[in-house]
Chain A
C-alpha cells in the first residue's frame, strides 16, 4: 500500500486479556519496527525485523510481549495478560533497508482497564 497501515486504531481491553496488534508495512520495505509511546513520553523501541535475519527483540519489556512477521509483509505484536502499564500507543514503522528514516503508521492506541 501507499503507507504503513495499522489495525485496530483503538483497542480497549480488560486487564489480563490478550491483544493482537497488526501492521502492514509499505510494499517492498524489508525492515519493520515496533515502538511504544506512553502518554507524554518518548518512543520506546520494542522489536526490529530485517529481511530474513533473526529479529532484534532487545526492547521487548517482558515475556508477555512477542511479535511475528511473515516474510517481508505483515507483522503482529501480541501482548499476553495485559496490564495497565501496557496502555500506550503502539507504533509500527518500515524502511527500505539498512539506512534511512522510517515511515510510521498512525498507531494503535491501547487502553487496558
Chain B
C-alpha cells in the first residue's frame, strides 16, 4: 500500500463550482499534513497546512480525520486559475525528521 494515496482525477468542473479532494495515508503515527499546488511544468508550492481542528484560507478549507486517516481539501467558487495538480503531503514519522511523502496528485481542470 502506498504511504499517501490520491484519486488522480482529472476533476473537470465549471467555474463557480465547489470541488473536494480526498487523500488517505497509511501511517497512523503521521504528524504533519499539507496540501501543495503544482502548475504544469512548475515546482510544487505550499497551499496550506492541515491542522487537526480543520482550517480555512479564503475559498480553501482543509480537514484532517485521524481516525480514518484521511485529509480533504475543499475549494469553493472555483476559478479558472485554480486549475492545477493538488498534492497531498504527509510527514509519516514526525519527531526529528521532516521528510515529507508526496502523493501523486489530483488534477483539477476548471472550465469556463
Interface residues of A (CB under 8 A from B): 31, 33, 35, 41-43, 45, 48, 50, 56, 91, 95, 97-107
Contact = CB atoms under 8 A, between A and B. Distances in A.
A99 B101 CA distance: 13
A29 to B, nearest CB: 11
A91 B43 contact: yes
Contacts of B105: 42
Which range holds the interface residue count of chain B? 20 to 34
A101 B99 contact: no
Contacts of A43: 44, 87, 102
Interface in B50-88: 87
A104 B39 CA distance: 13
Interface of B: 31-32, 34, 36, 42-46, 49, 87, 89, 91, 94-105
A35 B100 CA distance: 10
B43 A105 contact: yes
Given A41-B104, A42-B103, A45-B101, A98 B96 contact: yes
6 contacts: A48-B98, A56-B99, A99-B31, A100-B32, A101-B34, A101-B36
A98 B34 contact: no
A95 B99 CA distance: 10
